[in-house]
Structure 1
């Protein structure tokens, strides 16, 4: 199956830079003299594509070889060589169209990779070599050449086509006539003269993943042209020497595209994009660092440590057993050829690539984490998702007895600069996808993510180690897009998004999205919902604790005459799942199409998923259904369009029905991921977490066992003796070893917040420099939240 453009580009760069010299004929290097600085690097670039020397008879490589051979062989046999042809393949016609020649180069690269890889049916075949040379000339003549001006999507002209073309030239370099190579280099120089600027819009500086992509293209062009000045351009683009580091990939940003200190990654100015664009940046920069290592153009910028820190801060929190969380994949969730497991595997490959040249203090930790990810994911094994170059690394890692696989990461990660929250426990994780006037609710365009309307409205993802395919197993084409878990929605009919060329985002008008984190373990988050195209408004809050997620909603108001719903759960039960649903100790029917009104429900349990507690009862609704959809219905993109074949999945759905045009309605529910039926019943009776308030002014909970009090204040107020003089999030932990207070202003509207605690404090142990404490019987904290971008301020007291 053909991969998406980003995924194909990503996998092409996920090679094994440290492998041995590759298969002789396909990747053979011309004889070099000792003073030739270019050919060793070109040989390294070829190894990054093929994986270098390996034993084709090794069963560990059998599946990857078969995949490569099948895909390349099919495309090779399908090439049109007739006189007067308009394209190389009938489904990519005419080749003069940028989308068509862009994808054609990608296929040629795959064929060239198979030709250069031992063990495939195309390896070293002279007819394949000649066919590739002819196909490249054809595309240069009718499609991609310096005489043409850009049309359509710029990406094909400046990233997609030139990258695949340069990779193919690297593999064929000993076979390419000089005139052909010169023509291709002049074409790439025309459309990618450097990585600093968008060629079709010279005033636009390239940032993030696009800059990393282009830097690799420029480097490959420089090596093939044997031009040291071009190689300097490629290296310096990573640090943005041209603009004094303004768009350096090795710097933390405070707005726009790039890595943030809190672990956020943003691309397209407003979109949380760690899982795709962030991964591409990691891979592109990491590949170029590996490619140029030890040469006159080696990357020596000491700020490269920012990239190392990004692995820990940005990527590890959103990788769960090797899959990439959908909350940070943007419009890519609609791509059936790049699902969460696939994007996760690509990112793991990039982390292992970067580890080869990183300090041991980083590399040892990453390799241990990667080994744990690979070994735990048995449902969709890593080894079946990656190509030979990544397998070379993975095999070496798995065979290394000195590397002990790391356990799952635990903790609470508030990624305030991209409105995302990740709460991780030993057996499960919860991710919240929020949005605000700063971060888009969704991105759509070029036919992608057609039904992404509510993905940023508080969608709640629960990841369970016992079912890693909850979102990867055809969830997006089959789920009811009006009933995404965690969202409060107006049931009005919506039209498809992003059907016109180009991409666009929707940013709501609310300011509040985010919260505070306590001791790196607990968190409270809130989002003011200002619905798109509706009068619907709501105050939503989540409190994330050891074994529970408490979700509260208040002030739910609308006046459009339509039903408003809050979705507690909409779980993918896969093609034939029939897990038991128990409500208040009563087993519910299992037939598809069953539904019920459960106004007095106290708790529910879904076998194999977990428990749900409803502290204030209904009006709860439940449904079992089979839903059929197609990937094409959510992605009609020219090069990423989905499979039109219908797929069917079963779902168990729980939701609150707030009725038509509700006036200050509310809800409360507790998620107990992985809990047994008995544990759910016990939790519902003991109520270890108490809801103290759920109003438009304050939403708050307490856990006496944890000594924890947590609140989000929508306005100045107090609850249970805890007071705050303005909107903000406050968590207080009072235990035998002392008191910890965490405060944040997720709305980013205040200069200071004053917090009064409900118990005496004698001593200040430590505080952030933004916090001032006045101890006493009713201690007061004055927190300078202005300019802190919604991040948490902490004080430790006794």
Structure 2
């Protein structure tokens, strides 16, 4: 059967995506018509239409537009010397210049929004155009004086505001006949990471969300100029963001973008679905709306690709309307994350549904309704970019025939191995796990944001409980009040680290004279300061049905390896040691750790969990000692189990201690300013009740082995039962092999970390590998295998006992009989850590 163009596009091939571009329009008239449609669509997207703006649901959005515009006009009236707006001194501050341009756009927007009190106000529009002239003459037009500070403002931010302002006021440009061409020439000149004033797909600055922003700007500039070549070139460049990244066959050496397992990466190595990823989603959906009916592209052919992003990349990371911490990069330190992040994704889903085929459209509309019904914070549609989206959202909520539905099952385990993250979900909870490796950064710090990030990629976990307001447990206040050395799940050395501003007096390390050329946006700054990678290859895991296994070898970052190459005053920090596994079941998350210690003679700590609650909440900690006597925290004891309860919120988490020494339990009110995690945060004091449970590792002690389980929602009675008749059995816990059996599920999970043959509970595997084996009824055995190093070619697993035959299996799986059992060989060559599954019969 011949592939349709839609099927070709869905295959995400680079060649197929180029089919989105139709033949060139027939002559100048067609170009002019298409350009006019692009501009009209753009105005409708941002300003709304007469029909949508007449709806009562858009009243708040319109009121906000007008209020913002009037405030901007008042600020212009009160501006002083070297200011267009009061308080924004220009000449040396690129952020102020970017803000000035944005405020001009916001004023122009109110003059084009039907229903606005400023609609068609020629006087206001002239003030905006005069402002554009004034800024260009004094602070933007001389490129030899510009381009100080953040490259983003010059290549993307300012251009976004200028371009949209010119689109909104295109009919008023007659009084300034050269303004359009003058600004386009300047915007091209500021595209310094490009080539000859255009996009450079080989530039590390022109990738992912950044590329989508730049190319959308250039599409609109081409429409304003009636320049078909500019539009088509920008579209061709933007199409590259739709191609699934193949890490073994990179195009333009770009690792930024969406991966086959749903991962999204920006900045080369940062897991970034919840920040840059949502920015890319927003931009491409807006572009699809702008292209609609213009004749320049078959935009509808891209919709299936974007739908898979939402279904496979975003939906697993959203829990009851909250975006998980593990994919926000430095944005975790901002005051507005979580529910606010998801509002952006909801708007994109609403608009995508208007473009999608009926099956996908219905799924998206049901998902929007599902988020609204499960979120513990109201979603304010007035925050949407487009009044049109506000109306579509209202229509979805009002559709009684639509049943709310998630885009995935309530019970699932998702291995985002391409970005070293794991999500495990059940109806009552979700666990998000942040891993790192030589491929993926340990954290992201930049521009005074996320000041104390050091351990966020070292197995930090976030356990979200159903029915709770997640702002009370996580978000910026979690990082503000929980010690950066005591994040949940982290093994850290006992030491005091200093933030980048404390170390160097600036928001970055400045040493342009060094051979590594440390400047604010240099590659060296990225590699050693902003988002350093680790040194270990081992980070990954397997998924079998709804169950999962994950593993990571903790390491120092590249700065420690390259200490001799770095300047003498550059500070590096060595990490603690640990080899860790997580086995993800229904009621329990079992964690094994071996080789644990502070390293280099230092003491260390391993935090089992850290939870926050409002300071006034009724929080209690109870437990049982190994000798059978009760425990009431805080304090330190040899514990069998522990339970944290927030009676006020009706939430609880249990902990079962399977192996290890005494556990130190803390419960205290912590008060800190949000500015401790981000220099631009308001100096707002936050008080939280902070619970912690941790193992301490003495300086110079032998590396420890630990085993414990998180049991969300468990009762005291259930936790007591684990010691006597619990289903969990630690089969092996060393730096070579870690394995756990769950007797109730008939499930064995194992992670091998070294080469050679490893044996556990009737299974042997040549490591390193992640393996899950479930021996089901009627002779069925299910198996999942993954390569957590991404470097192996073949993994061999032997199941000892009766001989089995292959029932169903992924391509690349071979089954053969061996003395005493069955060998399963799995071709994992260039699979980038994905799981291979098989069902064996016999």
If the TM-score is normalised by the length of the shorter chain, which range does it land in? 0.7 to 0.9
CA contact (8 A) 2:49 2:114 kept: no
The answer to whether the 8 Å contact 1:515/1:746 transfers is yes
Stretch moving more, 273-282 or 744-753: 744-753
Contact 1:238 1:250 in 2 (8 A): no
- Could you tell me which residue of structure 2 aligns to residue 424 of structure 1? 425
Task: Evaluate the alpha carbon distance shift between residue 252 and residue 626 of structure 1 in structure 2; reply closer, same or farther with a 3 A threshold.
Answer: same
| CA offsets 1:557-607 (integer angstroms, 9 cap, x no match) | 344443211111211203432322222399987xxxx84112234232323
TM-score (norm 1): 0.87
Q: 1:68 to 1:684 in 2, by over 3 A?
A: farther
Give the equivalent residue in structure 2 for 1:518: 544
Give the 5 Å matches for 1:676-715: 676-683=715-722, 685-715=724-754
Counterpart in the other structure of 2:161:
164
For residue 495 of structure 1, what is the aligned residue in structure 2? 498
From 146, 170, 173, the equivalent of 2:170 is 173
- Secondary structure at 1:580's aligned position in 2? strand
Q: Which digits, 9 at most, give the CA deviation of each residue in 1:60-119, with x for residues without a partner?
A: 44554554455444333222565x721223543225532221122122223333444456
Partner of 1:27: none
DSSP 3-state at the match of 1:435: coil
SS at match of 1:442: coil
From 770, 781, 785, the counterpart of 1:739? 781
Aligned residue among 32, 40, 44 for 1:43: 40
CA distance in 2, matches of 1:764, 1:742: 13
SS at match of 1:77: helix
Q: Give the drift of 1:33.
A: 12
Q: CA offsets per residue over residues 426-467 of structure 1, 9 Å max, x none?
A: 222111100000100012222222111111001101122222
Name whichever of 734-743 and 385-394 sits farther off: 385-394
Could you say which residue in structure 1 is the equivalent of 2:771? 730
Does the Cα contact within 8 Å between 1:275 and 1:325 map onto a contact in 2?
A: yes
Is structure 2 residue 245 aligned with structure 1 residue 252?
Answer: yes
Shift of 1:654: 1.4
Change (3 A) 1:452 1:194: closer
TM-score computed with the length of structure 2 as normaliser:
0.83
Shift of 1:473: 5.9
Aligned to 1:244: none
Residue 103 of structure 2: aligned partner: 107
Q: Structure 1 residues 34, 751: closer, same or farther in 2, change over 3 A?
A: closer
Q: Contact 1:342–1:385 (CA<8 Å) still a contact in 2?
A: no
1:455 aligns with 2:456: yes
Higher mean C-alpha displacement, 766-775 vs 32-41: 32-41
1:759-788 Cα shifts (integer Å, max 9, x gaps): 323321122232211146411112223332
Name the residue aligned to 1:507. Answer: 533
- Which residue pairs with 1:29 in the alignment? none
Q: Say if 2:787 is the partner of 1:794.
A: no
Asked if 1:619 corresponds to 2:622, the answer is: no
- The 5 Å alignment of 1:29-68 reads 36-53=33-50, 60-61=57-58, 63-65=60-62, 67-68=64-65
Provide the rounded CA distance (Å) in 1 between the counterparts of 2:131 and 2:652: 52
Q: Deviations over 1:315-336 (max 9, x none)?
A: 1211222322111111111222
- Name the CA shift for 1:726/1:631 in 2 (closer, same or farther; >3 Å): same
Give the drift of 1:375: 1.9
Alpha-carbon distance in 2 for matches of 1:387, 1:534? 44
Is residue 316 from structure 1 mapped to residue 315 from structure 2 by the alignment? yes
Cross-structure match for 1:372: 370
**Aligned with 2:84 (options 80, 84, 88):** 88
Question: Separation in 2 of the partners of 1:770 and 1:50?
Answer: 53
Residue equivalent to 2:760: 719
Matched-pair contact (CA < 8 Å) for 1:569–1:653 = yes
- Tell me the number of residue pairs that the alignment of Structure 1 and Structure 2 aligns: 749
Superposed CA deviations along residues 598-642 of structure 1, whole A, max 9, x for unmatched, are 223423232313211112364111112222333333223xxxx22
Q: Tell me the secondary structure at the aligned position of residue 584 of structure 1.
A: strand
Change (3 A) 1:77 1:131: same
1:381 paired with 2:370, answer no
Q: Which runs of 5+ in 1 are unaligned?
A: 1-31, 240-246
Q: What is the DSSP-based 3-state SS (H/G/I as helix, E as strand, rest coil) of the residue aligned with 1:613?
A: strand
Q: How far is 1:146 from its partner?
A: 5.9
2:568 corresponding residue in structure 1? none
8 Å contact kept, 2:321–2:376: no
Q: CA deviation at 1:347?
A: 1.7
Three-state SS of the structure 2 residue aligned to 1:774 is: strand
1:23-56 Cα deviation digits (max 9, x unpaired): xxxxxxxxx9997433333222112112333677
1:228 is aligned to 228
Q: Which residue of 2 aligns with 1:596?
A: 635
Q: In 1, are the aligned partners of 2:668 and 2:691 still within 8 Å (CA)?
A: yes
| Greater percentage in helix | 2
| Alpha carbons 1:289, 1:299 under 8 Å: kept | no
In the alignment, the residues of structure 2 paired with residue 283 and residue 197 of structure 1 have an alpha-carbon distance, to the nearest angstrom, of 28
The residue number in structure 1 matching 2:560 is none
Secondary structure, aligned partner of 1:795: strand
Give the drift of 1:194. 11
State the alpha-carbon separation in 2 of the partners of residues 631 and 197 from structure 1.
43
Q: Kindly indicate whether the alpha-carbon contact (under 8 Å) linking 1:552 and 1:669 is maintained by their aligned counterparts in 2.
A: yes
Between the aligned partners of 1:346 and 1:370, the Cα distance in structure 2 is: 11
Between the aligned partners of 2:182 and 2:684, the Cα distance in structure 1 is: 41
| 1:243 equivalent in structure 2 | none
How big is the shift at 1:385?
Answer: 4.7
Aligned-pair CA distance for 1:195: 8.1
Q: Is the 8 A contact 2:332 2:476 kept in 1?
A: no
Q: Structure 1: how far apart are the matches of 2:588 and 2:836?
A: 24
Distance across 1 between alignment mates of 2:555 and 2:591: 18
Q: Conserved in 1, the CA contact under 8 Å of 2:614 and 2:689?
A: yes
CA distance in 1, matches of 2:197, 2:294: 28
Q: Matches of 2:295 and 2:30 in 1, distance apart?
A: 17
1:285-310: CA deviation from partner (whole Å, max 9, x where unpaired): 22212211222202359566433322
- Corresponding position of 1:645: 684
Do the aligned partners of residues 68 and 195 (structure 1) sit closer, same or farther apart at CA in structure 2, a change above 3 Å counting? farther
Q: Deviations over 1:227-259 (max 9, x none)?
A: 2222212222222xxxxxxx4533433251111
User: How many Å separate the matches in 1 of 2:332 and 2:116?
Assistant: 32
Whole-angstrom CA distance in 1 between matches of 2:200 and 2:231? 23
Deviates further, 456-465 or 148-157:
148-157
The answer to whether the 8 Å contact 2:623/2:639 transfers is: no
Note the 1:202-221 alignment, pairs <5 A: 204=203, 206-221=206-221
- Where do 5+ consecutive residues of structure 2 fail to align? 1-28, 502-506, 509-519, 558-572
SS in 2 for 1:604: strand
1:732 to 1:235, Cα distance in 2 relative to 1, 3 A: same
Distance in 2 separating the partners of 1:139 and 1:645: 35
Q: CA RMSD for the aligned pairs? A: 2.9
Give yes or no for contact 1:327–1:432 (8 Å, CA) kept in 2: yes
Aligned to 1:578: 618
**Alpha-carbon distance in structure 1 between the residues aligned to 2:710 and 2:433:** 13
Q: 1:649 to 1:85 in 2, by over 3 A?
A: same
| Aligned position for 1:405 | 404
Greater Cα shift, 165-174 or 47-56: 47-56
Q: Quick one: structure 1 residues 402 and 513, their matched pair in 2 at CA, closer, same or farther if it must change by over 3 Å?
A: same
Q: Which residue of structure 1 lines up, in the alignment, with residue 24 of structure 2? A: none
1:660 counterpart residue number: 699
Three-state SS of the structure 2 residue aligned to 1:725 is strand
* Separation (CA, whole Å) in 1 of partners of 2:654 and 2:723: 10
Report what 1:28 is aligned to. none
| Secondary structure, aligned partner of 2:260 | coil
